[in-house]
């Protein structure tokens, strides 16, 4: 089963890594998008302006005025169905606003234009109710990755043009759930629990889903590298594991466990002397370093080994005061 899941995890990693952020700061700066959209609108480049306003609604779904700007740009770009939808989102978001009366009149005009078409374009909101329901069902079931998952459904909603403050709320819930699941894997692994390789590899796409949903953790990169290293270690890919642990230790120098696992990878690769150098540099007083030191000394000579073993036993019995 694990061997079947690994290719799936790798596909998920590749697909998510190549995906653009969906919602939040990762999309960009909302104010910058609005400024660029306004410039394009004033130049009567309405379709391009609409693209910028749309990005602004993704970067910060909580800004209601952006929906009105998007609607006006889409209306003038002859994207009537989408313009009418954006107007409805705006009017729902602002029950009281100085611009509301004007936007309501423009919305009515938009709806009349759509009704006057001989062949109205397909309503982009047609599947949103079912997609939203599917999102929350998947989220409640903690189905966060893969086909039919909460992340997959949120991507579909963004792709299909779903708008509104609710999009930000949904992304926030997904980001929190994905982060919690990934953090649980990291915590269990760091505590010494032996986890299946596919479980270790699931953390990276989970962290990346959280990032795409605007919930990136500051130390997520180091944690991803560490868990990738453990996965490689479990598959006896010592050099790859060492590289991941080196990256993790560099990204999070405060977490000395990453250094220990780098040393462990070197030991497994047969480079015990190099492993001791690594541990001596950052974990000099760690009992595990003393064990490796004693093991190496035993390999050199019985006398040296006995001396190091005596030191180890003494410091274990009488640890130095801190």
Mean pLDDT, consecutive 10-residue segments, the chain of 322 residues? Answer: 42 45 91 97 97 96 95 95 95 86 94 86 85 96 94 95 95 95 94 92 93 83 93 92 92 89 85 83 78 63 44 43 51
Give the predicted TM-score (pTM) of the model.
Answer: 0.80
- Residue 190 exposed, middle or buried by CB count within 10 Å (0-12, 13-18, 19+): middle
In the chain the domains, ranked by start, together with CATH numbers, are: 1-20+126-160+164-217 (no CATH), 25-60+62-115 (1.25.40.10)
Q: CB of 86 within 8 A of CB of 160?
A: no
Per-residue model confidence (pLDDT) at position 298 = 52
CB-based contacts of 195, cutoff 8 Å, min separation 6: 185, 188, 189, 230
The predicted structure's pLDDT at residue 299: 53
User: With contact defined as beta carbons under 8 Å apart, do 49 and 37 qualify?
Assistant: yes
Nearest to 60 by CA among 211, 159, 155, 168: 168
Are 282 and 297 in contact by the 8 Å Cβ rule? The answer is: no
Distances (CA, A) of 120 to 83, 151, 161: 13, 31, 18
* 111: enclosing H helix or E strand: helix 100-115
Instruction: Please tell me the predicted confidence (pLDDT) of residue 32.
Output: 96
């Amino acid at each position: 089963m694990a061997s079947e899941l690994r290719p799936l995890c790798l596909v998920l990693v590749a697909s998510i890594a190549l995906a653009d952020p969906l919602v939040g700061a990762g999309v960009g700066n909302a104010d910058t998008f609005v400024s660029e959209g306004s410039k394009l609108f004033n130049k009567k480049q309405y379709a391009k302006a609409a693209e910028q306003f749309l990005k602004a609604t993704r970067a910060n779904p909580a800004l209601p005025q952006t929906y009105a700007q998007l609607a006006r740009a889409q209306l003038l770009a002859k994207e009537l169905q989408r313009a009418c939808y954006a107007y409805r989102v705006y009017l729902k978001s602002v029950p009281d606003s100085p611009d509301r009366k004007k936007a309501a009149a423009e919305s009515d005009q938009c709806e009349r234009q759509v009704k006057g078409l001989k062949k109205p374009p397909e309503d982009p909101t047609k599947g949103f109710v079912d997609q939203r329901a599917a999102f929350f069902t998947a989220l409640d079931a903690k189905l966060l990755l893969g086909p039919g998952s909460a992340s997959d459904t949120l991507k579909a909603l963004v792709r299909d043009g779903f708008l509104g403050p609710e999009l930000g709320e949904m992304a926030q819930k997904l980001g929190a759930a994905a982060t919690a699941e990934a953090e649980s894997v990291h915590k269990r692994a760091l505590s010494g629990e032996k986890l299946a390789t596919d479980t270790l590899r699931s953390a990276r796409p989970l962290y990346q889903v959280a990032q795409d949903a605007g919930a990136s953790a500051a130390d997520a990169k180091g944690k991803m590298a560490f868990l990738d290293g453990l996965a490689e270690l479990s598959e006896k890919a010592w050099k790859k594991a060492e590289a991941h642990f080196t990256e993790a230790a560099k990204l999070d120098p405060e977490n000395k466990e990453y250094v220990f696992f780098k040393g462990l990878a070197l030991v497994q690769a047969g480079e015990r002397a190099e492993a001791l150098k690594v541990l001596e540099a950052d974990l000099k007083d760690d009992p595990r370093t003393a064990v490796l030191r004693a093991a190496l000394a035993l390999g050199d000579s019985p006398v040296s080994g006995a001396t190091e073993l005596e030191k180890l036993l003494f410091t274990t019995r009488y640890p130095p005061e801190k």
